[in-house]
Amino acid sequence: MAIKRFFSTCPKGLEHILAEELQSLGAENTKESVSIVWFEAELEVAYRACMWSRLANRVVLVLEASSAIESGEDVYEAAKKIDWLDHFGVDQSFAVEFVGRSDGVRHTHYGALRIKDAIVDTFRDRVGRRPDVCAEQPDVRVHTRLHKGVLSIGIDLSGGSLHRRAYRCGQGAAPLKENLAAAILLRADWPALAQQGYALLDPMCGSGTFLIEAAWMAADIAPGILRSGHGFDRWLGHVPVLWEKICTEAQQRREAGLAKGLPLIRGYDADQKVIRRAQQNISQAGLDGYLSVGCQELARLQRPANTEFGLVLSNPPYGERLGEKDTLLLLYEHLGLRLKEDFSGWKAAIFTGNQDLAKAMGLYSHKQYSLYNGAIASKLMLIDLYKKDSGKASPHNDKSRTQTADTQAVDVDTQAADTQVADARAADRSQPTELAAKPVELSGGAQMLANRLKKNIKLLGKWARKNNISCYRVYDADMPEYAVAVDRYGDWIQVSEYAPPKSVDPVSALKRFREVQQAVPVAFQVDADKVVYKQRRVQKGSAQYDKLDSAGHFFQVTEGDCRVLVNLQDYLDTGLFLDHRPLRLQLASMAKGKRFLNLFSYTSVASLHAAKGGASTTTSVDMSASYINWSKKNFALNGLSESNHHFIQADCLQWLKACNEQYDLIFLDPPSFSNSKRMEGVLDIQRDHEELINDSMRLLADGGQLIFSNNLRRFKLSDEIEQNYTVKDISKSTIDMDFKRNQSIHHCWLIEK
């Protein structure tokens, strides 16, 4: 059979491995250009490419290649050289696709029109009639490329892009094309790893493209085996016997490959709907029973049992689809953490269109490949996850992402009675480093306070270590003359000064504050720049949402099974109310399998505990966009997606009136008072709690539970609530050891229908 000239197109970046693949199928004299590989071969090789190429988009038989094409007339004349009657009849339909341009052919539509005119005129000249043009389902597709003055005209043998394998019944929000997925698997050396018995795991598998392509590679299944309607079917040059031979061989190889069995191939996704699509795709691909998928959050990612070696392959979102990039940074960080903690000895291949996100994983890639996901320049990073006991030093980059502050946040009260004292106080705070730089001789009052702090640190520190608690209150105005609350957040200390009454002399108050400044670093044995000072007062309106700074001083702490972002400097509140720690842990134990609603959710740490405790869904409602974004970051930090966990920015009072959903577990923790401009009306919890609880109970499913909490010290639950519902005061069980001195810090009830 005669040698013919062909070209095959592919996504940008795959040219070299496509050339290698074509050579393995029998192609000769391959030549690579951008998104295209030229080659010479017999027709059978082109047919094999249509069946077996995992990388190509199209395979085109070149009929004419003309140079020095400058105008539309040149395009017409080149097309007229071809005897079109050798390729299709006058009663058949055709379509023309034109790619490229020149100074004289500036629009692809114009180029296609000139090709069409030449074809039509050829038929009119020869048989007196012309064939019809059909853009959707033509009998023959004519593919034309104009590049640097060279016009190549040919018959598209593939008939539609070969990346469409015909197994995809449904897809997720941002599907990866099948041939790009195959290229990533080849670059990760998956065929060789599969032969060695490596497992493959995709923790964010979407509609299952990686899994199916990996299984087809491991089982020697042709990527074109399910396709029908090729471009050569009604082409007059088609040789059916050759194609039938290739189809028979592909079926035999498939049966033999599946008979040998496949390595463990498994995928997970947080979205149940996407998993159902993946299951449909797997079934359509003929792989039922050969690989598995399941609905699982990244938070629960772990090495499959009894697998020593494997490949974790993932295409995480990178800001072009799901979520915002600042949230995705934390998702990537969590992915890196899970890989380091539980996949030593494995390999990883991470494909992303955002290298800044990839750096957040803290993993060293020994090799990278530049690829394109559509128009997005992307990287494939290959990573060896070294065994901890192998004796080989891991090159992982474990640099902490924790940010530290150069200065301390100060809440300056614009209504301060004595501006001069306030200025002096701020100036005094601006130089804390000097206090820790050398031994400080404490005044009598400062020494007395330091002694009390040390006593509390010793007592509470032992309790905290025993219970794995990293954030807790150490001191809460134990000595009335030093009216501050001192909280530990990991390695950081926050000192919240209660605003003194007007009867207190401002100069005396300043003197005591300076003694606090002296005592705290000494008692905790920390540098003074690890201590943040704030002044607390009754909050009005949206004051609790006001920023003190905008530098983004976030760092991570742990609570129970959760990692939480806190910020001691940018906001008056830190993102984690310490007094509700026991209640959040109770919610985690109550939430398994339940629909959880968190009203006035703040940074949604209660929702986070419920999600980690196994809640089927969580919904967090808060009026502040800042806190909703913070909530999303907390969830991403823990590997939890927004598929089953929803965040709603809304006025809770109005949202409750409009909502018609049902929930099994509701946490209602409103502020004592709010007249924020973003609210309709004013919230007074003593006055309004009955209506608020009734509205919440309307959403409570039969057998469900509502936990109502507030921190108004003189709060009294209405008699009507106790008469209408089953109510249990659980306040004492929600007060931990660090708040025993202040048991009125909050009130809490368990309410049932």
Q: How far apart are the first and last CA of the chain?
A: 83
3-state secondary structure 3-39: CEEEEEECCCCCHHHHHHHHHHCCCEEEEEECCEEEE
The verdict on 214 and 304 lying in the same domain is yes
Catalogue the E-assigned strands of 271-408.
292-295, 310-314, 347-352, 367-373, 376-384
For the beta sheet containing 531-536, the strands, ordered from the edge strand earlier in sequence to the opposite edge, are 471-476, 484-489, 492-498, 531-536
The verdict on 451 and 362 lying in the same domain is no
Q: What is the DSSP letter of 734?
A: G
> Looking at the domain assignment, is residue 400 inside a domain?
no
> Looking at the domain assignment, is residue 375 inside a domain?
yes
Across 125-139, 316-330, 359-373, 516-530, least confident range: 316-330
The number of folded domains in the chain is 4
pLDDT at residue 739 in the model: 95
Cα 346 from Cα 617, distance rounded (Å) = 32
Across 496-505, 563-572, 610-619, least confident range: 496-505
Query: 120-159 burial by CB neighbour count: b if 16+ within 10 A, else e?
Result: bebbeeeeeeebeeeeeebbbbbbbbbeeeebbbbbbbbb
pTM for this structure?
Answer: 0.82
> Looking at the domain assignment, is residue 167 inside a domain?
no
Cα 55 from Cα 185, distance rounded (Å) = 11
DSSP notation for 67-115: ----SHHHHHHHHHTS-GGGT--TTSEEEEEEEE--SS---HHHHHHHH
Q: At 649, which CATH number? A: 3.40.50.150
Backbone angles phi, psi at 268, to 5 degrees: -135, 155
The verdict on 379 and 332 lying in the same domain is yes
The verdict on 206 and 106 lying in the same domain is no
The verdict on 21 and 89 lying in the same domain is yes
Question: 719: exposed, middle or buried (C-beta count within 10 Å: 0-12, 13-18, 19+)?
Answer: exposed
**Domain hosting residue 699, numbered range:** 557-752
Mean pLDDT rounded to a whole number for the chain: 89
For tokens 């050396």, the residue is 189
The verdict on 584 and 691 lying in the same domain is yes
When pLDDT is averaged across residues 299-326 and rounded to a whole number, the result is: 84
With bands split at pLDDT 50, 70 and 90, how would you rate the model's confidence at 388?
low
Each residue of 535-572: pLDDT tens digit? 765 444 444 445 555 557 899 999 999 999 999 998 88
> Looking at the domain assignment, is residue 285 inside a domain?
yes
DSSP notation for 601-654: -TT-HHHHHHHHTT-SEEEEEES-HHHHHHHHHHHHHTT--SSSEEEEES-HHH
Cα 407 from Cα 682, distance rounded (Å) = 36
Cα 464 from Cα 130, distance rounded (Å) = 87
pLDDT at residue 679 in the model: 56
Going by their DSSP bridges, the two strands 265-269 and 292-295 should be labelled as parallel
Q: Which residues are bridge partners to 484 per DSSP? A: 497
pLDDT at residue 505 in the model: 82
Count how many Cα atoms sit within 13 Å of the Cα of residue 733 in the half-sphere of its side chain.
Answer: 12
The verdict on 561 and 532 lying in the same domain is no
Cα 648 from Cα 659, distance rounded (Å) = 12
The verdict on 380 and 423 lying in the same domain is no
Decide if pLDDT at 323 tops 50. no
With bands split at pLDDT 50, 70 and 90, how would you rate the model's confidence at 741?
confident
> Looking at the domain assignment, is residue 444 inside a domain?
yes
The verdict on 211 and 301 lying in the same domain is yes
> Looking at the domain assignment, is residue 393 inside a domain?
no
Q: At 55, which CATH number? A: 3.30.2130.30
Q: At 454, which CATH number? A: 3.30.750.80
529, two tokens: 């720049």
> Looking at the domain assignment, is residue 169 inside a domain?
no
pLDDT at residue 347 in the model: 97
> Looking at the domain assignment, is residue 64 inside a domain?
yes
The verdict on 581 and 715 lying in the same domain is yes
Question: Highest-confidence range of 117-131, 166-180, 383-397, 504-518, by mean pLDDT?
Answer: 117-131
